[in-house]
Amino acid sequence: MATKNLKDNKAHAKLEELSKKAFDLTAEGALSKDRLKEYRSDAGSLQMFYGTQRVNEETMSALQELADDSKAVDQFQSMLRGDVINKIDGHECENRQVLHTAVRNVFADLNDEKNIGKSVDAIKAAQAELDKLDKFCKEIASGAISNTVGQPFTDLVLVGIGGSDLGPRAIYLALKKYAMPQRRVHFISNVDPDDAAATLNGLDLSKTLVTVISKSGGTLETLTNETFVADRFKSAGLPVNKHFICVTGEGSPMDNPSKYLRTFYMFDYIGGRYSVTSMVGGVILAFALGYKKFEDFLRGARKMDLNSLETDITKNLPLLAAVLGVWNRNYLGSETLAVLPYSQALSRFAAHLQQCDMESNGKRINRQGEALEEATGPIVWGEPGTNGQHAFYQLIHQSETVVACDFIGFKKSQYEQDLKVKGTTSQEKLNANLLAQSIGLATGKSSDNPNKVFPGNRPNSLIMADQLTPEVMGQLLAFYENKIAFQGFIWNINSFDQEGVQLGKVLANEILDTYTEGKPADANSPSYILMKEAGLI
């Protein structure tokens, strides 16, 4: 049995005591050569350096005990093989499997009962969708699918919101360098009409495909934007069913072959924020990069899923990041995590992780429906370096608020187009800044001038790879997805529902009813009063 709550874990009291004398990164010689070499773990193409975290051997031993007593790896394996884990015992809930990993498990041996279990059907369903996608890409490439005058499609617009936008957008931008010539992807998510108008203006609609994504087929913002976009196509004299593709749940209101050029399925056991390796991300990534590069992306994610079965925290990168995050959040009091990629290609990656982490682990009850005594998920935010250094690093370095940081870097740039200025290349300057920030936050700086004192002891990790390729991106995505799942297991919360987004939807629909009916259900409701005061009605 896994421990019920964090305070019940065998390691909890030990970690509380250790937090009172956490490793001092500012001590002279703290970041020694031996420490920086020892506090490093590798998996796949990723290297993780965590000598700049406030841990020592005793802390690492206690964190291993924390992972073992919570049975974090056993629970991950249970998720992987298709056990029902999206549930709250004794309460109405989604009560279903969590199988975003099944999409990557198409590369697995289906006879591996230990790791496949009840997920066989999900893996077969994923393979069927991949086969449909492969065929679709080949038909576009051959010209079997083209516009009404036989020209190839050059652009694709994704219409979705939340997990149907953030993940695909982040990964497309990260891998845009690998896009095929004359293939571009655009995104419409906000129900603000300016978002759709600005995206469509300037596009040659005759050469444009549109992918509409909604699992339920009833997401109001997405259906509104779909109607907006479809109206543009109709006004241009273009048949919507020859340009529009949908990704939806089988049997949903959108599952209508007469309305769409192609339909791809997403499944209820894949949460939106974990769906980028499914058809949600697959359609746009395969269109832009080509099907084989999308497969490379999936293979990278699969490698990290396999690494997540290691029980030793120093060999399991997502689990190592998870326990370090719990240490920082619950024992050292860091409420936020800044994800700081030193790569412009990852400009929207922090935004995706913000949803993935905060929608998953921003919970106040455990899996038995009881109120938690400890805090869960951190506030996740971030921007690419070095831009962020000129924006918010001042606070990270000198504020009393201690912000834990994940730095992400690459030895080589994607385009490998660079030159020396004042003796160094741009990539060398980028990585010099990356290392300087990691070390500077950890060690701090003393001075007789109080304005120039840097307290240090700002915990951070450094994640490095050779170059940001489709496979490395898959590893990096799954690294964070699995880290988030591990933290949920340790906190004994359900990371796979999102009740917190429902209340706002209910209230918004009540306000919309006031617009459509011309009068409120309750003239004394706060929403109606605000509508009147703001001049909205």
Question: Is residue 426 classed as helix, strand or coil in its secondary structure?
Answer: helix
Report yes or no: 286 and 137 within 8 Å, Cβ to Cβ.
Answer: yes
Estimate the crossing angle of helix 220-235 against helix 193-200, to 10 degrees.
40
How many C-beta atoms surround the C-beta of residue 157 within 10 A?
24
Give the pLDDT of the chain (537 residues) as one tens digit per residue: 566 789 999 999 999 999 999 999 999 999 999 999 999 999 999 999 999 999 999 999 999 999 999 999 999 999 999 999 999 999 998 999 999 999 999 998 888 878 899 999 999 999 999 999 999 999 999 999 999 999 999 999 999 999 999 999 999 999 999 999 999 999 999 999 999 999 999 899 999 999 999 999 988 999 999 999 999 999 999 999 999 999 999 999 999 999 999 999 999 999 999 999 999 999 999 999 999 999 999 999 999 999 999 999 999 999 999 999 999 999 999 999 999 999 999 999 999 999 999 999 999 999 999 999 999 999 999 999 999 999 999 999 999 999 999 999 999 999 999 999 999 999 999 999 999 999 999 999 999 999 999 999 999 999 999 999 999 999 999 999 999 999 999 999 999 998 887 777 777 877 888 778 777 777 778 888 888 888 887
Amino acid at 439: I
Residue 519: what pLDDT? 72
Q: Which residues have CB under 8 Å from 381's CB, separation 6+?
A: 336, 337, 338, 339, 350, 354
Which one, of 257, 274, 182, 297, lies nearest residue 480 by Cα?
274
pTM listed for this prediction: 0.95
Q: Compute the distance between CA of residue 135 and CA of residue 288 in angstroms, rounded to an integer.
A: 15
Q: Is the dihedral of CA 389, 394, 397, 400 positive or negative?
A: negative
CATH superfamily ID and name for 118-297 = Glucose-6-phosphate isomerase like protein; domain 1 (3.40.50.10490)
Decide: helix, strand or coil at residue 402: coil
Annotation marks residue 390 as catalytic: yes
- Do residues 370 and 412 touch, judged by C-beta distance below 8 A? no
* Same fold yes or no, 6-69+310-413+424-492 and 118-297: yes
For residue 408, give Cα distances in angstroms to 345, 392, 398, 485. Answer: 12, 17, 22, 20
6-69+310-413+424-492: what CATH class?
Answer: alpha beta
Catalytic residue among 295, 359, 383, 471: 359
Q: Is 259 a catalytic residue?
A: no
Domain boundaries, the chain: 6-69+310-413+424-492, 118-297, 500-533
Q: Is 57 an active-site residue?
A: no
Q: Which of 20, 114, 390, 422 is catalytic?
A: 390
Query: Tokens at residue 516, please?
Result: 């459509």
Please report which helix (H) or strand (E) contains residue 425, including its range.
strand 424-425
**Helix runs in 43-192, H state only:** 57-69, 72-80, 113-116, 120-142, 166-175
- Nearest in space to 282 (alpha carbons), one of 459, 454, 103, 140: 103
Catalytic residue among 21, 420, 505, 532: 505
